Amino acid sequence: MPRMGSVRRFFARLGPGFLLAAAAVGASHLVMSPQAGALYGSALLWLVLAAHVLKYPAFECGPRYAAATGESLLAGYARIPGPRGWALWLTLGGTVLQGVGVLAGVAVIAGAVLRVHTQALSVATWSLVVLGLVLVLLVVGRYRWMDLLNKGMMLFLAATTLVAFVAAAPPAEDFAALVVPSLPAGSIPLVAAMLGWMPTGIDVSIWHSMWTLEKLDLLGIPAGSGGARERLRTALLDMRVGYGLSLATGVMFVMIGATFLAGRGAELRGADFAQVLAGVYEQTLGRWMYHAFLVTASFAMFSTAYTVMDGFSRAFEGSLAQLRRLRRERDGASCEERAAGCGPAYWVFLTGTALVAALCITAFPQPVVLVTFVATVTLLITPALYGFNVWCVTRRIADPALRPPRVTIWLGWAGVAFMVGVAVLAVAHAAG
């Protein structure tokens, strides 16, 4: 029994890392990874590992900065040298531009999964139902419910994916593609989209810093010098568990696509992609897994919509709060700040993006096309946000012991350079 108690305590301390995994698994894993495997076999497997390794410092920055300073990354963005608040304005613009598109994309995918599973209503109708339910849950339950729901849903999705993967594991030589980069003909648009949203957009690191602050407060770990190290250990362990879950499921989904869906990549572009994937599980484990997968995929996409709606709204509210603080500092006035995500701007943005997303859903009936487009646009602002994060943890954390190791910092700047190169490649390809 003590062991079970220890396991329960361990999972009770986790939370924001699972929200990070939920934001990742929903679109880049469930949609793009099987498509990459179906179209190009294991040739793009290296993308999953490369994206996770090169983006790791960006996502570590969120919980590290929050635990070490007691404030979100947006407070660090406000201090970046240059014109007053320029980094916040860039973040705010990206939040508004992406908020609607990303939310519409994940809601449509959730609707497509539910349509296949229930064989009732339309994809658009189910998508609107998902948006409505998420709004209700955010009003009623907020972070506590996100925390509880996502743990169960993400663990179940990972477990069912692992069972299907092990049941018909690909040859060992296929895994050489993890470390041997290649670009098959015609793959650049998908490569750009996967790098933009694998494991997920860098924006999520901002949300992660806010979720971390809320989780640490719920756990009752004191802020300040006395509790900073414990807060940091807790936050980083949680982040790494979620990040490892994202990496493992990403690899498995690519290989499932390569093993079972070769030559069927076109089928994964339409609204029936969920039925194609569910068929893989049925083929491997029996009819019962067909329904189990669709239930789990529905939960996964629902949790993604949940995190996206909350995260973008928090970022919007937090950016405005920091800009107000800068303006008051310029005017010589004091400013009592309220926690990001609790003010009226949060609810205005939440409601507004949900309404606009509902309109977009009827205009974009193909969920995979919409998600791929949004992911490519996301890629264009990724290098800037990545650079902001690295600057914050190297310049704004006072205690050197709480800053990232030198190797992580080097990897971070290498990741920024890599993402600049990828963005240039994507723009050049689009222009050509």
pLDDT tier, 139 (very low <50, low <70, confident <90, very high otherwise): confident
What does the pLDDT read at residue 78?
A: 94
C-alpha–C-alpha distance, residues 121 and 108, integer Å: 13
User: Strand, coil or helix: what is 181?
Assistant: coil
Provide, rounded to the nearest whole percent, the portion of the chain with pLDDT above 90: 21
Mean pLDDT confidence for 201-216: 89
Q: What is the dihedral of CA 362, 296, 46, 54, to 10 degrees?
A: 80
Sign of the C-alpha dihedral computed for residues 272, 198, 420 and 374 taken in this order: positive
pLDDT at 336: 47
pLDDT at 3 over 50: yes
**Residue matched to tokens 């997968």:** 293
pLDDT at 77: 96
The pLDDT of 127-135, averaged and rounded, is: 86
**Coil vs helix vs strand at 335:** coil
Q: What is the pLDDT of residue 412?
A: 95
> Looking at the predicted structure, is the pLDDT value of residue 383 above 70?
yes
Closest CA to 344 of 332, 356, 352, 336: 352
In order, the DSSP letters of 271-322 are: TTHHHHHHHHHHHHH-HHHHHHHHHHHHHHHHHHHHHHHHHHHHHHHHHHHH
Query: Which pLDDT does position 60 carry in this prediction?
Result: 95
Contact 227, 221 (CB under 8 A): yes
Q: How confident is the model at residue 340 (pLDDT cuts 50, 70, 90)?
A: very low
Lowest mean pLDDT among 23-27, 34-38, 41-45, 407-411: 23-27
Quick check: 405 pLDDT over 90?
yes
Task: Map out the domains of the chain with their CATH numbers.
Answer: 2-431 (1.20.1740.10)
Range with the lowest mean pLDDT among 67-71, 195-199, 252-256, 285-289?
A: 285-289
Query: Which tokens go with 320?
Result: 């405005």
- Exposed, middle or buried, 336 (CB in 10 Å: 0-12/13-18/19+)? exposed
Rounded alpha-carbon distances, angstroms, from residue 182 to 177, 178, 185, 372: 8, 10, 10, 20
The pLDDT of residue 407 is 95
Q: Is the pLDDT of residue 57 over 80?
A: yes
Q: Mean pLDDT, to the nearest integer, of 138-165?
A: 73
Query: In this structure, what are the phi and psi dihedrals at residue 198, rounded to the nearest 5 degrees?
Result: -120, 120
> Which range is least confidently modeled, 103-107, 334-338, 361-365?
334-338
Q: What is the pLDDT of residue 341?
A: 47
Burial (CB < 10 A; 0-12, 13-18, 19+), residue 283, is middle
Question: What is the model's pLDDT at position 265?
Answer: 61
- Evaluate if residue 11 carries a pLDDT over 70: no
**What's the rounded Cα separation, in Å, for the pair 310 and 80?**
25
Q: Is the pLDDT of residue 291 over 80?
A: no
- Greater confidence (152 vs 410) lies with 410
Question: How much is the average pLDDT of 329-349?
Answer: 65
Asked whether the predicted pLDDT for residue 335 surpasses 60, the reply is no
Average pLDDT estimate for 240-254: 89
Which of 71-80, 150-159, 269-278 is least confident? 269-278
Residue 432 burial (CB count, 10 A): 6
Average pLDDT over all residues of the chain: 80
Measuring CA to CA, which residue among 346, 384, 268, 369 is closest to residue 99? 346
pLDDT at 394: 95
Gap between the Cα atoms of 414 and 79, Å rounded: 23
Compute CA 417 distance to the chain's CA centroid, rounded to the nearest angstrom. 21
φ, ψ for residue 332, nearest 5 deg:
80, 20
pLDDT at 390 over 90: yes
> What pLDDT is attached to residue 289?
73
199 preceded by a cis bond (ω within 30 of 0): yes
pLDDT tier at 12 (50, 70, 90 boundaries)? low
Phi and psi at residue 199, in whole multiples of 5°?
-70, -25
